[in-house]
Structure 1
């Protein structure tokens, strides 16, 4: 490249050719700079943190006090919003996947308990563009038995995410009260989603694209901020009317519909890349 530029310089006969030379030098400089900033310079490993910001159709979720009206014409007050996220897979810009260790990949997010953060440790360096994870606990994990659940079993029990060991985990625990135009007297509702044997397996996995790359290296530890819309549970792809049935736990029709709705609750709002983060 340098030899070519020298030859070009020796043949210059006009100011126009000199301008072409400076243009070529600029392209060479930009090319070198781009190479220096490439992902090849990301090395080592670090943590990736996810923060789950619970909301209702764009508004902050506030337990016990604020009432929200959905498109079903039902006005709901939420008293409990807990769910399990699990089985995280990070997908980089080249399509490579890093699967987080399965035994460490189960977490409870609980608005009432103040649990809204998941930290994945020892993530290999890379430019990550998507995350795949599940809502709930998969059958493979459950079939390991109570002794195979580790500390997660106690966490689930203490946050009201376990019916009993025999009946299994609650993937979603969504409770509160509601009124309708026809009935202004508040009634309680309970939406508990889980899997009940292979015939009613409501565990769902899905992929969320990141709006910008999450950069991980020995000195870069990103924070991924999720927006979680509780309104999707009743008012998503499937419309669930509490006035028809206010307690849904084991329902062959409504439980799979709620599982599909719950998978659509999650979107990534923004990402902080760097060593120090201002929330």
Structure 2
């Protein structure tokens, strides 16, 4: 009799576990579409980036007060756990971020449901888009002009607008610096793309709208793979040597800090 009760008890336990497992799987199913927000948190060598605040010192002993940090991000691609890529529609995939205005968050809309493990994007505007001409830029051309991200249409976009003042051992009076990096027409292409692992899956569905928090370390612009001394050259715009070096540095300043998975717009 005890054996019979034991068998029945085990059968009930198995059914319960199987049922719970199925419910868990159902709860975790992702359907429909959702929004993915990407928050660019600007910093300097591990510290929050506060404009008009001195005290940011690089490895070359230059002390920076940063007044402006704007950059263009574009051509977003999300890759899911199975390696499938969702390419965000190109005409909607250009954004100008600005620490000055606080406009440092972008929204990618109508993303297919899934578990995304990495994000890829460009820094700047690619030649394919630029070659479409002024009419082919849509509303982004106006946005770039309003955020000081254009030289002129013929000269092209500024991919990075980094400005402020600095002092150093050899420059004792506060001196203005300007780092404007971009492609200059079709002659010099400084457009770069990066791919960042998310660490935690970004879950997207009709009720899940994740926020990807990306840290952008402004220190890398001058103090990254290539060392750029403001004391030697405080203004860099169209420079066949240093502009490509800054482009490489800028592509290395982004890391994913964390992913917030949740419903709606809560952080």
- Normalised TM-score (structure 2): 0.92
Q: Distance in 1 between matches of 2:253 and 2:9?
A: 55
* 2:63 match: 75
The one of 123, 130, 141 aligned to 1:142: 130
Q: Secondary structure of 1:200's match?
A: coil
Per mean C-alpha deviation after superposition, the further-off stretch among 22-31 and 47-56 is 22-31
Structure-1 residue corresponding to 2:246: 258
SS of the counterpart of 1:219? coil
Equivalent residue number for residue 49 of structure 1: 37
**CA RMSD, 1 decimal:** 2.2
* 1:129 paired to 2:117: yes
- SS of residue paired to 2:250: helix
Q: 1:117 aligned to 2:105?
A: yes
| Corresponding residue number in structure 2 for 1:248 | 236
1:36 aligned residue:
26
For structure 1, the residue ranges without an aligned partner over 5 or more in a row are: 1-8
Answer yes or no: is the 8 Å Cα contact 2:207–2:264 preserved in 1. no
Show the counterpart of 2:148. Answer: 160
Query: Size of the alignment, in residue pairs?
Result: 265
Judge conservation of contact 1:47–1:222 (CA < 8 Å) in 2: yes
Determine the C-alpha separation between the residues in 1 that align with 2:20 and 2:226: 51
Q: Residues 5-49 of structure 1, C-alpha deviation per residue, up to 9 Å, x if partnerless?
A: xxxx77x9xx9x9999899778756754554355xx211001111
Deviation at 1:275, TM superposition (A): 1.3
How many Å separate the matches in 1 of 2:158 and 2:196? 23
Give the drift of 1:198. Answer: 4.2
Q: Considering only CA atoms, is the larger Rg found in Structure 1 or Structure 2? A: 1
Instruction: Quote the residue 2:160 is aligned against.
Output: 172
